[in-house]
Structure 1
Amino acid sequence: MQIFSTFEYSSYIELAISDLEKKGIKKEDIFIVPLNNRTEDRRIFDSLHRADGVSLIDLGMALATAFSVIGASIGFKLSWGPIYWGIISAFSGFILGLGIKIFMFKVIRKNQRLLRGKHSEVILIVDCHAADAEAVEQTLWKNLALGVSKVRPDGL
């Protein structure tokens, strides 16, 4: 039986391995695969088929609405009238909001990600007998595994 588990890259994976070795699992039956970190930056703009759930235009739309109301109100006193000044104000509010969001994602969140340090996960695969599977699974959960799954040799 094979047991797959994922861990954050920390000392807990070393503790899990030493606990498994104390329980009689041989070193040859333990396989560790570290995942690589992403090397390229994430794309800011989404395509038609891929979206990351982050909206860049929400603040721009809110500021466009607020600016257009204010611009239309002030436009009654100006020479071009409320419609033109409402459209000009909406456009400038949208550009301002879009600029703020792009600045936040490119500068502020990138710095936060660098300060926190983005560590990848580690996959731990343990080959064991079916009788030892429950003890191995409990050991992995006790050592803060992110996820654990068992695969029997017959494919079930």
Structure 2
Amino acid sequence: MTSSKRVKAWPVKVQAEVFQVISDLLVVGFSVRHAIEFCELIFIKQQAHLRQINQDLRAGQSVSEAFGTVIDEQIRFQLKLAEEHGQLASSLGQISRLLQTAHQRQQKNQAVATVSPGTGGYLSHGDHGNENFNHASVNGIGTTYPK
């Protein structure tokens, strides 16, 4: 973004969704700017940032530079590599899938960390108890406790 002011990065789930939409639109022939304009209509909470990103693209910034303030530094670097090698559409799709996986892992970790008082004793019995609980939750057979 032209202001180079660091803003809070978008949530991982939002980054994944935005990148997947842009990737899909690039694959069917949209330009990057038109794909981002389309995202402005879908991602209302990110609309101001997306407008700024599009303005930055019009001003000559690369995609990685324009998205730089709302994404993680590692993701920005991946976008830069994709741009340099002409693989933006496929790389955005891959980045989206990686971010979706990270988001799912984050949710599972939160579910495991949010444990009712009744299970505290089970989890305090060393690593074996934690291992069993984690596997049960990851495999979808564990109980998820409300926050």
Instruction: Pick the TM interval, shorter chain.
Output: under 0.3
Greater helix fraction, Structure 1 or Structure 2: 2
Give TM-score scaled by structure 1 length: 0.27
Q: Highest relative contact order (Cα 8 Å, sep 6+), 1 or 2?
A: 1
Greater strand fraction, Structure 1 or Structure 2: 1
